[in-house]
């Protein structure tokens, strides 16, 4: 390691010239982040069309290995990053939440493409979840339908930046409290988010003016607000 490595030797201490070949002074955060940013292992997990572009990103031409990210793990237990690459459906979201819960911290989620970010072209569909962020927290959104490999690479670089900005003392997963798992949605008459249970009960017990399925009558006030 040479003394010109800016990511390490910049802790504000002068290293005598004769030691520069052998000694590096840095902060724990920096070395910790550097280790993590160059070995983000994504989960081998594809949902839809975007997954094809994700595979292309990992393959010969775009070569994800340059970022130390080519090691795609089929098991959530060994992966750091979940690339949600495609349309999230109601039938699939319980599995996605389960996989997310199974990933060890530190863990990141990248929503790839319009579908994963907000429903995309299929948003209105009865089996489509409008964005994975309704259930799991997302770190980076990559727009596109599908995002080109370049766009995905850009998203991954943004993730690296995010990792760089973290401090070991502040990240949420080294705190005292346990981070509760996200409750897994159920497949009932429609998708049931257990966090919504009270609200669902409240809504379904309302005496019907119109069933909940029908769109609310045009509400100009709400329109103006949004």
Partner 1 sequence: MTEATTAAPVEKSELEKRFPDAVKADARPGYAGFLVDTSKLIEVATALRDEMGYDYLSSVTAVDYYSDAPNAENFIEVVYHFYKSTGGGALELKVQTPRENSTVPSLTPLYAGADFQEREAYDLYGVNFEGHPDQRRILMWEGFAGYPMRKDWKEAYFEEEVKPFKNRWPEGQVYRIEDRNPFNKNNAYPQGFDPTGFKETDDPKLYEVLERAAREYSEDIDTEQVVVNLGPQHPSTHGVFRMAVRLDGETIVALKPVMGYLHRNHEKIGERNTWTMNMPFTDRLDYLSSMSNNFGYALAVEKLMGDKAAPPERAEYIRVIMAELTRISNHLWAIGFLLNDLGAFFTPALYAIVERELILDIFEATTGSRMMCNYFRFGGVARDLPEGVLEKIKSLVTERLPRKIDELDIYLSENELVRSRSEGIGVITPEEAIAFSTAGPVLRASGVPYDVRRADPYSIYDRFKFDVTVRQHGDVYDRYMIRIDEMRQSLQILNQALKDLPGGEIMNGKNPYQVRVPAGESYGRVEGPKGELGFYIVSNGKGNPARYHVRAPSFINLTVLEKMCVGQKVADVVVNLGSIDIVLGEVDR
130 φ/ψ angles, rounded to the nearest 5 degrees: -85, 75
Q: Is 131 in the site for ligand SF4 (CB under 6 A)?
A: no
Site for ligand SF4 in 134-193 (CB under 6 A): 145-146
Whether residue 108 is preceded by a cis peptide bond, meaning omega within 30 degrees of 0, is no
Q: Binding partner of residue 42 among partner 1, ligand SF4, none, CB under 5 to 8 Å per kind?
A: none
Site string for partner 1, 121-140 (x = CB under 8 A): xxxxxxxxxx---x------
Shortest Cβ distance from residue 53 to ligand SF4 (Å)? Answer: 7
How far CA 183 is from CA of 40, 47, 124, in Å, comes to 26, 21, 24
Q: Binding partner of residue 22 among ligand SF4, partner 1, none, CB under 5 to 8 Å per kind?
A: none
DSSP 71: -
Q: Is 78 in the site for partner 1 (CB under 8 A)?
A: no
Q: Is 226 in the site for partner 1 (CB under 8 A)?
A: yes
Shortest Cβ distance from residue 45 to partner 1 (Å)? Answer: 6
How far CA 58 is from CA of 41, 81, 117, 192, in Å, comes to 12, 14, 21, 35
Q: How many CA atoms lie within 13 A of 83 on its CB side?
A: 33
Using the contact rule CB under 6 A, the part of the chain among 11-19, 48-56, 155-163, 195-203 near ligand SF4 is 48-56
Q: Is 46 in the site for ligand SF4 (CB under 6 A)?
A: no
Residue spans of beta strands (DSSP E) within the chain: 81-85, 108-112, 140-142, 186-187, 191-192
Residue reference for tokens 């996200």: 182
Q: Binding partner of residue 114 among ligand SF4, partner 1, none, CB under 5 to 8 Å per kind?
A: ligand SF4
Nearer to partner 1, 37 or 76 (CB): 76
The stretches of 86-141 forming alpha helices (DSSP H) are: 93-102, 113-118
Q: Is 209 in the site for partner 1 (CB under 8 A)?
A: no
193 strand-pairing partners = none
By CB under 6 A, name the binding residues for ligand SF4: 48-50, 86-87, 113-115, 120-121, 145-146
């Amino acid at each position: 390691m040479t003394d010109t490595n800016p990511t390490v030797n910049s802790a504000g201490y002068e290293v005598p010239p004769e030691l520069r070949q052998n000694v590096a002074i840095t902060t724990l955060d920096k070395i910790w982040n550097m280790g993590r940013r160059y070995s983000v292992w994504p989960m081998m997990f594809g949902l839809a069309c975007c997954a094809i572009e994700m595979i292309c990103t990992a393959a010969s031409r775009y070569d994800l290995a340059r970022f130390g990210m080519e090691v795609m793990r089929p098991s959530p237990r060994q992966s750091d990053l979940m690339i949600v690459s495609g349309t999230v459906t109601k039938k699939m979201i319980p599995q996605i939440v389960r996989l997310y819960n199974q990933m060890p911290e530190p863990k990141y989620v990248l929503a790839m493409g319009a579908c994963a970010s907000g429903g995309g072209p299929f948003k209105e569909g009865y089996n489509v979840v409008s964005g994975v962020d309704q259930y799991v927290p997302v770190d980076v959104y990559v727009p596109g339908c599908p995002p080109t490999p370049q766009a995905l690479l850009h998203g991954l670089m943004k993730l690296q930046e995010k990792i760089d900005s973290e401090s070991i003392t502040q990240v949420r997963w080294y705190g005292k409290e346990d981070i509760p798992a996200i409750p897994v949605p159920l497949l009932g008459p429609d998708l049931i988010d257990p966090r919504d249970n009270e609200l669902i009960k409240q809504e379904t017990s309302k005496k019907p003016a119109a069933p909940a399925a029908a769109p609310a009558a045009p509400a100009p006030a709400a329109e103006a607000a949004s």
